[in-house]
Structure 1
Amino acid sequence: MANSSGKRFMKLAGMTASIAGKAAKNSLKHLSSDEEKRLQARSDMMQDVGIQIAETLGEMKGAVMKVGQIASQYKDVFPPEVATALEKLQKDAPPMPYSQIKKQVERELKTPIGEVFSAFEETPFAAASIGQVHKATLPSGQKVVVKVQYPDVDENCDSDLKQVRMALRIAGVLNMSRELQEQLFAEIRQSLHDELDYVKEANNLRVFSAFHADDKGLIIPKVIGSHSSKRILTLSEEMGESLTTASTWDNEIKQKIATRLFHFSAGQLFGLYRMHCDPHPGNFAFRPDGSVVAYDFGGIRSYSDSEVQLFRRFAQHAIRGDVTALEQDLVALGIRSDDDTNIPGSFYEEWLAIGLKPLSIPPFHEGEFDFANSQIHHEAIAKMRTSLKYFNQFQPSATTMMLDRTISGQYWNLVNLGVKIDLSPLVEEYFAIPD
């Protein structure tokens, strides 16, 4: 194990040293270049750095690869060139050999695998950054899935994260104060530790199952406690189709799915004050009756009552177009810097015109919104290019980081589902917009 940890450290340290060299070379080479050339050179370097980070992390299982996956989802934290390169880490990771998985199961459950399972498929049907999932059968005949954490992942978590942060800082990717860096990486670190603790995930599954118990169209797997531990999680087998398959179904079914995804996230935030914050499409499965199966309850974020009420006020002010109140909310959330810089109301109004379209709130959009042909992400990129002079007044917020990840992920789920739907009744239900 020590040898393995040493190899990981050397590989990450080598990546960091290489990136430091590239950053220094780029800085010296373009010292006397004009602003446009410097910006283009930095963009080219960031693209190169992003590819290098993605390739290095892609070779390594565990927390470090998970950090890369998380990074790809925060385009307001990381330069778009780096985030885009890291997106490929969202794909399934190559599986670990069954011999190692078998040892891990037997070590955790303290019993030969053939005694605790009457059948255990050697080939996983899903493999990810910190573990993989196998289908199995209990001696009672019940079909289950077994989530097996890779050996030593938790041992390397903190050192992996420290090395990635150092590499990103040296590359100039983390263009923010040290205090904000500490807050953001503390959030990522806590999220990683939560996901590595399957006992905590089992408890999350029980809590969320109880919360969603009245919605028969939302299925959450049941925990088999006798076959679970900190690194092994055995659940009832709850299968469904992929998002790609669901996108071919009739729009009426897709509307049921979209409605359930909306209730899934908004209901948790405003009703439970805890939220499933990993809406990757692989964490959901879908059935032809519009039912949704939800997986992976490791990445859960809890919020205080004051935070939830601030989120609600922010949404209400955004939908009403009250830019004065909206700016105050952004300061309270830690997104807008608290200084005397004047940002015209038109700046916020133009962003709201883009961001509120899928909510179908007049005058932004009338009737159904066609997510299959949504241009919001393209409009946002175009708007960013014309808003650069104000961007140094804004910064990522540790308070909203996981919430942003969830909203963005669910938006893309609806885009890839290709649903046409009017979301305004759901928005009214959760935000109670005054007339």
Structure 2
Amino acid sequence: MSNSSGKRFLKLAGMTASIAGKAAKNSFKHLSSDEEKRLQARSELMQDVGLQIADTLGEMKGAVMKVGQIASQYKDVFPPEVAAALEKLQKDAPAMPYSQIKAQVERELGAPIDTLFARFEEQPFAAASIGQVHKATLPNGDSVVVKVQYPDVDKNCDSDLKQVRMALRIAGVLNMSRELQEQLFAEIRQSLHDELDYIKEAHNLRVFAAFHADDTGLIIPRVISSHSSKRILTLSEEMGQPLSVAATWDNEIKQKIATRLFHFTAGQLFELYRMHCDPHPGNFAFRPDGSVVAYDFGGIRSYSDAEVQLFKRFALHAIKGDVTGLEQDLVTLSIRREDDKNIPGEFYESWLAVGLKPLSIAPYHSGPFDFGSSQVHHEVMALMKTSLKYFGQFQPSAATMMLDRTISGQYWNLVNLGVTIDLSPLVAEYLDIPTTLSNGVGAADTPSESTI
């Protein structure tokens, strides 16, 4: 074990030991407490554990910090207190010294940086958990951005992930079977390895650029192969404004942006069977004509035809208010546990009434939906409190984890964009249904399958 790897291991092992002590103390202290006090104590423990994990991971560059970032986006996997604490890891990480970046570029590309680039800005314009991005100019005068992976990040990936998993398990955060833990962490591990392989990301960029080629308003940076490797990715510079600026534009422009974001995600899922699963607002830029620039194609998830058809069926059952079909889909997706405990239809109907509102699905919402004043996320939190007694009958699913993350992220992008738009025609387009169906069929007047 190298000196730096040893230090990382000791820091993570120390965090795990500290969390184990807190969990044991909390459990012993509240042995004789009533249910309400135990729940309150557990919530406080989770808050404390979340902050400790976030603080420890925040000090450490590399895969372990990326694990924390990924974890913060899976709010259905981790308790809300832990997910909230980990969210601070989404912020930009401090930059690595230029001397180390220069050495990494020269080592990977096999030539002096002054030969490779006519200009290379020493200060990065973005720094994240596994690498940072610098603006540069090629010898031919083309403006580019250079994504440089931090040295040795990939070497620590698996050991970092094991330590974080152990800490979460000891804290009682992972309230699920060992088999499900294996599936979820295999998904996170694969996501990490994909994001650390810039050759794979370059391939993804080419695939998605070809898929979206017909929409000139959706811009995907071009790969400069001569200046790219497994740990260096050089791309054409494609600039735009951040989401906060786009939010100040006219609603007509914002509708174009929202439509493109919808096509970006739904088109990939239902037509390409591969999806960009990191809709963080920093991975998009926007132009005043409604164009969208998409970045960071490391986090891609592929789906089988069977999975995509199941997602489509689930969406159709939701729109039709068919709670029996919906529950069967949830069992097939391994979200609903197979047990004899009955869940009343009203439970599902309550969630549909909230979840379908942003899509302008009648009778839950008719006409354009104002994302800027959306209360859906608050309604979800309120509904969770009243639904607690049924939550033991549900569990996270490896098949939908990345999909949940993507849909949730795009919802927040539209909220922060502040757009008012009717998305139901777009929903109808991807589900191959008449617009009238997405605008008013409820459980009482469900059509037969043959009419869809």
TM-score grouping bracket, smaller chain normalisation? over 0.9
Q: Report the counterpart of residue 159 of structure 2 in structure 1.
A: 159
**1:374 equivalent in alignment to 2:339:** no
Aligned pairs for 1:318-329 within 5 A: 318-329=318-329
Residue 132 of structure 1 aligns to a residue in which SS?
strand
Q: Which amino acid aligns with 1:327?
A: E
Q: Distance in 1 between matches of 2:245 and 2:12?
A: 38
**1:393 equivalent in alignment to 2:393:** yes
Q: Report the counterpart of residue 250 of structure 2 in structure 1.
A: 250
Aligned pairs for 1:28-47 within 5 A: 28-47=28-47
Residue 16 of structure 1 aligns to a residue in which SS?
helix
Q: Report the counterpart of residue 342 of structure 1 in structure 2.
A: 342
Aligned pairs for 1:19-418 within 5 A: 19-418=19-418
TM-score (norm 1): 0.99
Tell me by how many angstroms 1:339 deviates: 1.4
Residue 249 of structure 2 aligns to a residue in which SS?
coil
Q: Distance in 1 between matches of 2:431 and 2:171?
A: 41
Q: Which amino acid aligns with 1:313?
A: R
Q: Which amino acid aligns with 2:371?
A: F
Q: Distance in 2 between matches of 1:20 and 1:182?
A: 21
Q: Report the counterpart of residue 15 of structure 1 in structure 2.
A: 15
Q: Distance in 2 between matches of 1:6 and 1:370?
A: 52
Q: Distance in 2 between matches of 1:319 and 1:71?
A: 30
Q: Distance in 1 between matches of 2:159 and 2:362?
A: 50
Q: Distance in 2 between matches of 1:4 and 1:101?
A: 18
Residue 67 of structure 1 aligns to a residue in which SS?
helix
Q: Which amino acid aligns with 1:390?
A: Y
Q: For residues 246-280 of structure 1, give each alpha carbon's deviation from its aligned partner in whole angstroms, at most 9, with x where no partner exists.
A: 10111110000000000000000011000000000
Q: Distance in 2 between matches of 1:277 and 1:22?
A: 35
Tell me by how many angstroms 1:361 deviates: 1.1
**1:425 equivalent in alignment to 2:393:** no
Q: Distance in 1 between matches of 2:146 and 2:45?
A: 42
Residue 339 of structure 2 aligns to a residue in which SS?
coil
Q: Which amino acid aligns with 1:404?
A: D
Runs of 4+ deviating beyond 6 Å? none
Q: Distance in 1 between matches of 2:255 and 2:357?
A: 17
Q: Distance in 1 between matches of 2:354 and 2:345?
A: 15
Q: How many residues align?
A: 435
Q: Distance in 2 between matches of 1:392 and 1:357?
A: 26
Residue 46 of structure 2 aligns to a residue in which SS?
helix
Residue 362 of structure 1 aligns to a residue in which SS?
coil
Q: Which amino acid aligns with 1:249?
A: W
Tell me by how many angstroms 1:433 deviates: 3.1
Q: Which amino acid aligns with 1:355?
A: G
Residue 146 of structure 1 aligns to a residue in which SS?
strand
Q: Which amino acid aligns with 1:37?
A: K
Q: For residues 13-58 of structure 1, give each alpha carbon's deviation from its aligned partner in whole angstroms, at most 9, with x where no partner exists.
A: 0000000000000001111111101100110010011000000000
Q: Distance in 2 between matches of 1:62 and 1:366?
A: 46
Q: For residues 91-145 of structure 1, give each alpha carbon's deviation from its aligned partner in whole angstroms, at most 9, with x where no partner exists.
A: 1101000000000000000100000001000000000010000000000000000
Residue 145 of structure 1 aligns to a residue in which SS?
strand
Q: Distance in 1 between matches of 2:128 and 2:151?
A: 13
Tell me by how many angstroms 1:403 deviates: 0.4
Q: Distance in 1 between matches of 2:251 and 2:334?
A: 39
Q: Distance in 1 between matches of 2:65 and 2:379?
A: 31
Q: Distance in 2 between matches of 1:387 and 1:403?
A: 23
Q: Distance in 1 between matches of 2:170 and 2:179?
A: 16
The alignment's C-alpha RMSD in Å is: 0.7
Tell me by how many angstroms 1:311 deviates: 0.3
Residue 234 of structure 2 aligns to a residue in which SS?
strand
Q: Distance in 2 between matches of 1:2 and 1:142?
A: 40
Question: Could you list the runs of 5+ residues in structure 1 that have no partner in the other structure?
Answer: none
Give aligned-pair identity as a percent: 85
Q: Distance in 2 between matches of 1:252 and 1:8?
A: 50
Q: Distance in 2 between matches of 1:19 and 1:361?
A: 45
Tell me by how many angstroms 1:321 deviates: 0.4
Q: Distance in 2 between matches of 1:40 and 1:344?
A: 28
Tell me by how many angstroms 1:341 deviates: 1.2
Q: Distance in 2 between matches of 1:354 and 1:220?
A: 34
Q: Distance in 2 between matches of 1:127 and 1:210?
A: 28
Q: Distance in 1 between matches of 2:323 and 2:228?
A: 50
Question: Could you list the runs of 5+ residues in structure 2 that have no partner in the other structure?
Answer: 438-452
Tell me by how many angstroms 1:432 deviates: 2.2
Q: Which amino acid aligns with 1:146?
A: V
Q: Distance in 2 between matches of 1:347 and 1:241?
A: 42
Residue 399 of structure 1 aligns to a residue in which SS?
coil
Q: Distance in 1 between matches of 2:128 and 2:93?
A: 5
Q: Which amino acid aligns with 2:278?
A: D
Tell me by how many angstroms 1:84 deviates: 0.3
Q: Distance in 1 between matches of 2:308 and 2:366?
A: 28
TM-score (norm 2): 0.96
